[in-house]
Structure 1
């Protein structure tokens, strides 16, 4: 199962380092490249709950195999994208199919892990399972930088041998399939996909359409209304796609909210930091990957501490520490971006990584431990959906902010060098759309004054891009600051995990904890 899910985590970050090379070879726009990254995350979020439900209905082993095949076939097709006008559409479609494969695969793999480990060993197994996500997410940029030096297409083809090993190991493990004879909530799944897709589309296209556009707000508000209707609908369904009764537990609600704001920063960081390194610092893909290692150094250490804190006292201390450290780290890191020195930024990158490390595993594990009886898969479906949806929203919102800020900064730089208002605006927009195309922002063709001024201003434009990224990193700091306010309200206490192999009673009743243990709400019995 670890081999199977390895692909899904690596692909959350591996594309970020290769983004400039992909954009340059295929001629994608900045918003198009963001959609290539975001299509995977959005599809993973939209279909994750459906994947968990299908694992219950059809059997987890079968869904692991199906999800792995869907994932690896779409990976091959992503690597085989032809050049031309259809390239952007091709990439977005098959990245979305990749996300669908991951959504089918991951919850089924988790269900297998939960089923084969007894209650007394399940905590350690789940800690390894969730902790692996951070480690594999860290491998993504490094692997991406190394493979991109050969060809960026290899970042997709590398999934083939991993998938083959995963399928062989799955066959050798002789995993038993448990199925439930229940109907599938198709209408709930459709509402979730439409709601998430519309809302993220609005955030993503706000730069192109404008924040004052009716289309922008129609998508955002319309998508959120569909998600609100989804929640109302699910509460009235006998066999819902997601059992929303888990939100009756206050600690679970806080875990979910803190995860949402943390993920606004976590996955989008890889895209923005990588592009910043390659544009403003003129780094190679390999150097950009090493730049991200500073972040993961702090993340790896804090993840271990966070897990120990969770085991001893519960999630609340780890969440409070993580949100504060992360907010301070991102804010200080933002202030250093304009120094244009990779090595001067490492303490702040490590501090930001430590903050995220203190949050993710403790919040995810605490939420799973507070599951209803026999509903580990459903609870994980909720938390993973929230995590991936937040990553999609973060990438869309921060991408819009970055493009706006880059356009404004470049326009002012060109005007200061004598380019007319109208011409500077056109060029600035062109630069903002193509700035991720290579290590240097592209210059307009020709020998006129505008092109000459553009070439003369290239060093200043690299600084403009760094200043634009400051808005993104300050936004990430604000997101973690908001998460801290919610972490303060966490009731604390250690949750007692339910046993999904226990006799089935009323699904609404959590399994009773052992005498002297704390209840999911944090109080003693």
Structure 2
């Protein structure tokens, strides 16, 4: 009889790790979906006859809703139950995916993508808070490593899966694949993931939630659309959806103005309600925890460059080197392999190094990998030169992303895991949106300038240069293969290929620069750089801090 507790403990431990598998697949669901859509879009355009504006909103409607509601659902999950919120998110996401797969028009597809955004925002912070609540000590570091490597790996696996599904079957399977994945996740979560929630009760701060959503939606809109709509003056013939913009000023500065007003109101209102003891969406006392505050700053800066290359590299591989979507996915698979390799090494590394040291090691690997890409990119680069750089970059992502997440959340009280996870996910999302805006501007501005300069050296008239440059830039390089096939424009195709390669190179160097800044930002982690095992005591101290809920 004395031996009975040991098998029971082993069974509970096995259930916990199987639960981590289900949680990781849930993360993979939303990451793969976002990358699959990028590959499937050309096929969707042909089938549904989407306008250029609709193409844009198929991508961005999801991103805006996702970024706007991350903080909301993370906090709500603490109240109603984190497992319950994850299951709701998966069901919403899968049902929306089915609607997207059955969509008969661009408007129907955009509507489905909006619903997907809500589901995805329910899933991501909840997976983090479940790990934070379900694992402690060294096991928590390993669990976060698996979570982070899943994100890094799925960013690369998505294009491969999407290329295969869309070319071998239909673009509709790019969404339909989420149905069996969703059923698998629901079964795994119900079987292996225990429920957890905060002891705190009370009404949800609905006004605070709306202010938060407006703040982050308008911020993401401005960052994403600045290059397209104009950072100050509205682009000629500007349309938002099917509506023509009536003002000379771009909607982007107006969106940023709304961000400032809504954000300031949110902060003022939250501080006032906290003093009065009323429920709030977020309590700012979390930022008094050094590891949480400094870690979020570092995570935001790192996100500026961490996945930026995924924006430009597939465009370069397909439009300059002539790879198919499936071949592009195979090349990017090196990133996934590197990320999963890092996951396998997380346990021995976490026993020897502090989490912040592992983060810095990963960031150095990312910088080496992405700077290496910048050095080898050219119109005739072989995949043999690209794959090692992507592997090193992916290895760095697998180390840095997971361990940085662990550092951010290590001292956050377990019963506020959803709140902390929502803030952390939002910080990364803002950083990613800003990074995409800046790297996209670098990519297309450099491509246009280099192409115009190269054509001028060949004596091409200004009017013709403008036409070619606009065609290449507005198609994100998609016009380059057409230039090469047309006998009349074939002589200028190599100039376009060189210009786009130069632009991709500078985008890579810019991303590397952001990662250097992120590496410097990790120097501020200070006490958050302790080993994860030591962070448990800090979590209890934070729980017992003035204004924090009592330990259960």
TM-score by length of 2: 0.79
Alignment partner for residue 227 of structure 2, among 207, 231, 248? 207
CA 1:270/1:22 → structure 2, altered by over 3 Å: closer, same or farther? farther
For the pair 1:8 / 2:30, whether they are aligned, the reply is yes
2:85–2:122 Cα contact (<8 Å) kept: yes
Alignment partner for residue 408 of structure 1, among 420, 430, 449? 449
2:62–2:114 Cα contact (<8 Å) kept: yes
Point out the more displaced range, 139-148 or 401-410.
401-410
For the pair 1:462 / 2:488, whether they are aligned, the reply is no
For the pair 1:52 / 2:88, whether they are aligned, the reply is no
Deviation at 1:95, TM superposition (A): 2.5
2:149–2:339 Cα contact (<8 Å) kept: no
Deviation at 1:479, TM superposition (A): 0.7
Counterpart position of 1:145: 163
Deviation at 1:326, TM superposition (A): 2.2
* RMSD over aligned Cα atoms: 3.5
Point out the more displaced range, 68-77 or 165-174.
165-174
CA distance in 2, matches of 1:176, 1:501: 21
1:51–1:103 Cα contact (<8 Å) kept: yes
1:70–1:97 Cα contact (<8 Å) kept: yes
For the pair 1:476 / 2:496, whether they are aligned, the reply is no
1:402–1:471 Cα contact (<8 Å) kept: yes
Alignment partner for residue 92 of structure 2, among 64, 70, 83? 70
CA distance in 2, matches of 1:335, 1:473: 9
Deviation at 1:165, TM superposition (A): 2.4
Alignment partner for residue 255 of structure 2, among 215, 219, 222? 219
2:152–2:397 Cα contact (<8 Å) kept: no
SS where residue 220 of structure 2 aligns? helix
Deviation at 1:294, TM superposition (A): 2.5
Deviation at 1:355, TM superposition (A): 2.9
SS where residue 378 of structure 2 aligns? helix
CA 1:315/1:221 → structure 2, altered by over 3 Å: closer, same or farther? farther
For the pair 1:167 / 2:204, whether they are aligned, the reply is no
1:20–1:275 Cα contact (<8 Å) kept: no
Counterpart position of 2:273: 237
Counterpart position of 1:430: 471
Alignment partner for residue 291 of structure 2, among 228, 236, 251? 251
For the pair 1:300 / 2:320, whether they are aligned, the reply is no
Q: State how 1:107-146 maps to structure 2 within 5 Å.
A: 107-113=125-131, 122-146=140-164
Deviation at 1:483, TM superposition (A): 0.8
CA distance in 2, matches of 1:153, 1:45: 25
Deviation at 1:362, TM superposition (A): 0.7
Residue-by-residue CA offset, 1:243-294 (whole Å, 9 max, x unaligned):
3322212232232122212222333432322222111110011110111122
CA distance in 1, matches of 2:482, 2:69: 38
Aligned residue pairs: how many?
502
Deviation at 1:418, TM superposition (A): 4.8
Deviation at 1:8, TM superposition (A): 1.7
Point out the more displaced range, 168-177 or 284-293.
168-177
CA 1:340/1:444 → structure 2, altered by over 3 Å: closer, same or farther? closer
CA 1:358/1:56 → structure 2, altered by over 3 Å: closer, same or farther? closer
Point out the more displaced range, 409-418 or 55-64.
409-418
Point out the more displaced range, 20-29 or 451-460.
20-29
Alignment partner for residue 494 of structure 1, among 531, 535, 538? 531
Structure 2, unaligned runs of 5 or more = 1-21, 234-248
Residue-by-residue CA offset, 1:335-378 (whole Å, 9 max, x unaligned):
22115322222232233323323311111012111103521222
SS where residue 181 of structure 1 aligns? coil
1:368–1:497 Cα contact (<8 Å) kept: no
1:188–1:234 Cα contact (<8 Å) kept: yes
CA 1:255/1:173 → structure 2, altered by over 3 Å: closer, same or farther? closer
Deviation at 1:9, TM superposition (A): 2.7
SS where residue 214 of structure 2 aligns? helix
Residue-by-residue CA offset, 1:204-242 (whole Å, 9 max, x unaligned):
333333344242333345425543543443333333223
1:262–1:356 Cα contact (<8 Å) kept: no
CA 1:74/1:431 → structure 2, altered by over 3 Å: closer, same or farther? same
CA distance in 1, matches of 2:127, 2:537: 18
1:80–1:153 Cα contact (<8 Å) kept: yes
Point out the more displaced range, 492-501 or 288-297.
492-501
Deviation at 1:508, TM superposition (A): 4.1
Structure 1, unaligned runs of 5 or more = 446-450, 513-525
CA 1:160/1:94 → structure 2, altered by over 3 Å: closer, same or farther? same
Deviation at 1:390, TM superposition (A): 1.9
CA 1:306/1:371 → structure 2, altered by over 3 Å: closer, same or farther? same
Alignment partner for residue 335 of structure 1, among 366, 375, 387? 375
2:483–2:492 Cα contact (<8 Å) kept: no
For the pair 1:273 / 2:313, whether they are aligned, the reply is yes
For the pair 1:156 / 2:175, whether they are aligned, the reply is yes
Deviation at 1:194, TM superposition (A): 1.9
CA 1:165/1:326 → structure 2, altered by over 3 Å: closer, same or farther? closer
CA distance in 1, matches of 2:35, 2:416: 29
Q: State how 1:78-93 maps to structure 2 within 5 Å.
A: 78-82=100-104, 87=106, 90-93=108-111
CA distance in 1, matches of 2:335, 2:268: 40
CA distance in 1, matches of 2:95, 2:55: 21
Counterpart position of 1:523: none
